[in-house]
Structure 1
């Protein structure tokens, strides 16, 4: 009788162990699986990363999305990562092109608009202390963006007049190993801070602890007049109908956009100070004028080696002239002075002028 009871206990314990190994646990009502291994099926890998929000139902190529499967990074590649990077700043400021060039580097992976801080703030247990899962998630987000054409000028992010895709380079992939990994979602990252400063600082500290490597923040700054004008034109969907002769006029909307922009500026600068971010500031105008020199400085700050061919690629794919969208919008003297007065409050913007 005693032997039967012992066998029953052992059987139940083994059954419970198998259940714990097989089950996927739930966080805030959403399902997330354990860390993936090389032996996991493509279907299971895909389902697990879909639960992390990599694949959006709004992506342009639903056929590619349906057939896409995720491959985990080899453990030695995960171990090769020695830096983490995210973006902070403002919409329409030039983050996307900088991130696209970095993602094209053979040893850098930058996810396109994964919104890591937003997701981490909503479900803290998703990534906390799960380094391998974090890096795999960002890599597969970058890979899917490249495969689905999300950086292309048409059908993807719908940029007008240019593409963020760099053919024949390493967007969505890598060569040999990954030195730097991260996410590009500058405006959304700043929104997390504006909504809840304490939560942002908490997520940032968890990120630093989980990544286990130095964490950097890239801050791209554009001429405020151009940034504000582009925000206005983009939000009102009128950019294609404007030119320097027939300027877009919406004074009330422009006034609101000016206010919104400087709220973002103050929030971002406060965030960098309060969280003690290791930030790298890039002025968009300097990048356009000297793309090779600017990217070399960024690579040096990140301890990433940049070949001459890589820097030449950056130079060849950068716009020949900076877009001065401020001249596509009608400004009143009052609003120009309003921006001028706000610029004077922030040393990082002090050299920017309307003309």
Structure 2
């Protein structure tokens, strides 16, 4: 909700606020573009959606991601995309196309094509390969779950446009499932500071991180709890089988033979504790700890763990 975002921005520093306003302006500009501006994309997706009607006729769930960047969403979405009953694209920004009036078949086709394009480059994203061996990403048997991973942008879009979620429910006609991938906030904040917006102060990265946490919480309050799954990045690494089985159960798909074993080959042996790669002052550590205590989904995360 625009008013909600404006309210959130009242409590942050001018430097962080400037970044947020530029980000929001980019989204608004994107909305303002004519839906038919790219005639080729519109027509191709229209024809592609019609041609793939059979592939999409058994879809039971639509899946979206909520949360902060650098949390591990890309890994989770890659693992899901390698499942024979799922197609999950990486940062297509499917919500944008739904908001612009594309039909669900058009968006599903764009998701499929985006997934195939990533598979051709071994799901190489941001300098990392998210290829899952022996799973054949973008290859599927019967598609039961389809969706797009773009957690921070999806989170902000749903806050800016309060009617978008209801419109999406009406358009897809199946249950919408939300996955929120969570990582130790100190690691998450440090990585945002290093890799996003050309480099940020830790204090600014912290404000952006907790702004998104506020947005996530405001969205979760509008969604039935049964449609939200929190996935801790550290738990996925430490207990891969349990977490993947939880995701599959949440989405209503079976766990095929070999799926867990193949996925495990693409997962780090231990979480990367990037917080230890920089110096923190005690005051900032304590401020983050105080903010962690405000969110149940961040419970028990510590700097010293």
Query: Does the alignment reach a TM-score above 0.5?
Result: yes
5 Å matches for 1:11-22? none
| Per-residue Cα deviation, 1:240-269 (whole angstroms, up to 9, x for no partner) | xxxxxxxxxx8xx11111111111111111
Alignment-derived partner of residue 62 in structure 1 = none
Q: Which of 137, 149, 153 is residue 188 of structure 1 equivalent to?
A: 153
CA deviation string 1:127-179 (max 9, x = no partner): xxx232232221122112222x2722xxxx332xx41122432312212x101
User: Unaligned 5+ residue runs, structure 1?
Assistant: 1-26, 34-43, 53-68, 239-249
Q: 2:181 & 2:243 partners in 1: Cα distance?
A: 12
CA distance in 2, matches of 1:237, 1:321: 27
Residue-by-residue CA offset, 1:266-289 (whole Å, 9 max, x unaligned)? 111111113547211101111110
Tell whether 2:36 aligns with 1:30: yes
Q: What's the counterpart of residue 48 of structure 1?
A: 43
- The 2-side partners of 1:192 and 1:89 are apart by 12
Q: Is the CA contact 1:49–1:137 (under 8 Å) kept in the aligned structure 2?
A: no
- 1:105/1:174 contact within 8 Å kept: yes
Name the structure 2 match of 1:178.
143
**Cα distance change, pair 226–139 in 1 and its aligned pair in 2 (3 A):** same
**2:129 is equivalent to residue 163 of structure 1:** yes
Counterpart for residue 114 of structure 2: 141
Shift of 1:204: 1.5
Is the Cα–Cα contact under 8 Å of residues 73 and 136 in structure 1 kept in the other structure?
Answer: no
After TM superposition, give the deviation of residue 237 of structure 1 in Å: 6.4
The answer to whether the aligner puts 1:228 opposite 2:189 as a matched pair is: yes
Match of 2:6 in 1: none
Q: Deviations over 1:9-50 (max 9, x none)?
A: xxxxxxxxxxxxxxxxxx8262577xxxxxxxxxx7x77347
What is the aligned counterpart of 2:86 among 108, 124, 140? 108
- Alpha-carbon RMSD across the aligned residues, in angstroms, is 2.5
In 1: Cα distance, 2:98 partner to 2:42 partner: 19
Q: CA separation in 2, counterparts of 1:212 and 1:29?
A: 22
SS of match in other structure, 1:317: coil
What TM-score comes out, normalization by structure 1 length? 0.70
- 1: distance between equivalents of 2:198 and 2:81? 28
- The structure that has the greater radius of gyration is 1
For the pair 1:254 / 2:202, whether they are aligned, the reply is: yes
Q: What is the TM-score with the length of structure 2 in the denominator?
A: 0.81
Structure 2: segments with no counterpart, 5+ residues: 1-32
Q: Distance in 2 between matches of 1:263 and 1:70?
A: 38
Larger RCO, structures 1/2 (Cα 8 Å, 6+ apart): 2
Structure 1 position 230, deviation (Å): 0.8
Question: 1:159-218 deviations in whole A, cap 9, x for unaligned?
Answer: 2xx41122432312212x101101010011012134x2xx2x322222212211111010
Written as runs of structure 1 = structure 2, the 5 A alignment for 1:1-355 is 28=34, 30-31=36-37, 48-49=43-44, 74-121=52-99, 123=100, 125-126=101-102, 130-147=103-120, 149=121, 151-152=123-124, 157-159=125-127, 162-175=128-141, 177-194=142-159, 196=160, 199=161, 201-235=162-196, 253-276=201-224, 278-355=227-304
Q: Is the 8 A contact 1:292 1:314 kept in 2?
A: no
Residues 165 and 74 of structure 1: CA distance in aligned 2, closer, same or farther (over 3 Å):
same
The number of residues matched between the two structures is: 271
